[in-house]
Chain A
């Protein structure tokens, strides 16, 4: 957890092992990380190395063409004068004409460069340096630092005196930085697109950045190793520390360069001595660990109790169709229903009784008629049985 005050000791490494010396982490590494500021400043800064391009100033106008006007059954575009050549009578000057000037010819006085506020530049720089001390951010950028002994990686000043590439490679291998450079080797490929024909044929990944205090042969030793950049601590460059506008480049510091950072950027307690009137930017939040915040005493004191009961979805039963649901709402329903059923039964019995009576009467009447028709009575008798 990076609070403004927590500043651990970083050990200086030699040949992959700690040399015994250690430096307190400079305050810059605890500066707020603002990828938006870095992106903006990087965007503006990368425009400053541009070379102007433009079309020739008189392109398309080196004719004395004039429009033929109306009445000649041709379009009114200015046409080249004279005769005896294909060119005569052809359209000129317009952007739609063959050999004419383009629309809005590009000019060299386009605003190519951008100025950036000094404070913004410094803010971006502090963010980029701070991000380079987080293993998560450096790994997210794609650098293979799984085997490096420590992040931020500080090496002894002996590295500044390396004069041959062989020694440089040995130093990288001993400090377990070589896998990042192997990745650069693997990433060498041709550019996609027209850049190939414009002297930008090959592209490769960026490797580690070595930041030194005094160049005693270091730049020449490391310059032939693909991907490696070297830079003096006095002239830190955002384009190198946050390539592509994204924070988290793998940086290797020499000890004296590392020690210089406090005087370059200041600590919040003390102003910077090398930059006039500058101190580190103030973060909006000193403690950004959300989990820690939520469990802190100050927040827990004002927060209500957590709701641990789980309310699950209740199936709603229709009381008109579900007897138990109706019973739950209206206990009298059972009684009413029983009464209704009883009444229905009774009604049925009464009805049956009436029907039986009627039937008996009807049969009695027919039996009375029977003596008049003897045959029918005898016929009926076996049927009755």
Chain B
């Protein structure tokens, strides 16, 4: 079934559709959606070439998953995942090279890079903030003495 036909069937009604109050454009929670937005371009189910970027399970790095051109009817073999453990700059570069080099969904390039940067930003170590606390209990009593 072509992607266009599938989109027309599921555009208003599918398991991953998330409509929220006061939000005009519905969200979509399927795993291969780069923007989590319900739109034919970003939908992660209907195309035969799809791109997904998720945080790596270790908490460091990013997993680039894409749909192989072969095995379109074999879901178990279709999805190929590669973990990119290098730092943010290198990782973004390799994602960019992958998309450009293979001409794989060039229209998703910016969305993929932005998603990857967002993941890396969340994985950055938070600077240690010293919290100043008023001494309480016995320590407070001690201080007054």
Spell out A's residues near B (CB within 8 Å). Answer: 1-2, 8, 10, 33, 35, 130-131, 133-137, 139-142, 145-152, 176, 246-247, 287-292
Contact = CB atoms under 8 A, between A and B. Distances in A.
Given A145-B75, A149-B76, A288 B16 contact: no
Nearest to B4: A290
A140 B14 contact: yes
B42 to A, nearest CB: 14
Interface stretch (B5-13, B97-105, B120-128): B5-13
Nearest to A10: B73
Contacts of B14: 140-142
A147 B76 contact: yes
A289 B4 contact: yes
28 contacts: A2-B1, A33-B1, A33-B5, A35-B9, A130-B1, A131-B9, A135-B45, A136-B6, A136-B45, A136-B46, A139-B45, A139-B75, A140-B6, A140-B14, A140-B45, A140-B46, A142-B14, A142-B15, A145-B75, A146-B75, A147-B76, A148-B75, A149-B76, A149-B77, A176-B76, A246-B13, A288-B1, A290-B4
> Majority SS of interface residues in chain A?
loop
Nearest to A29: B1
A146 B1 contact: no
A136 B14 CA distance: 11
B74 interface: yes
A302 B56 CA distance: 49
Given A33-B9, A141-B14, A142-B15, A136 B1 contact: yes
Interface of B: 1-6, 9-10, 13-16, 30, 45-46, 72-79
Contacts of A289: 2-4
A1 B2 contact: yes
Contact of B10 (A8, A140, A148): A140
Contacts of A291: 3-4
A35 B15 CA distance: 16
Contacts of B9: 33, 35, 131, 137, 140, 247
A249 B46 CA distance: 16
A327 to B, nearest CB: 43
B73 A151 contact: yes
Contacts of B5: 33, 288
B73 A135 contact: yes
Contacts of A152: 73
A287 B72 CA distance: 18
Given A247-B9, A288-B5, A140 B76 contact: no
Contacts of A10: 73
A290 B2 contact: yes
Contacts of A1: 2
B80 to A, nearest CB: 13
B126 to A, nearest CB: 34
A176 B16 CA distance: 22
A247 B1 CA distance: 13
A135 B30 CA distance: 14
Contacts of B13: 246
A151 B1 CA distance: 13
Nearest to A30: B1
A134 B74 CA distance: 10
Contacts of B75: 135, 139, 145-148, 150-151
Contact of A148 (B6, B30, B45, B76): B76
Contacts of A145: 75
Nearest to B73: A151
Contacts of B15: 139-142
Nearest to B9: A35
A303 B11 CA distance: 29
B77 to A, nearest CB: 8
A139 B2 CA distance: 15
Contacts of A133: 73
Contacts of A137: 1, 6, 9-10
A2 B2 contact: yes
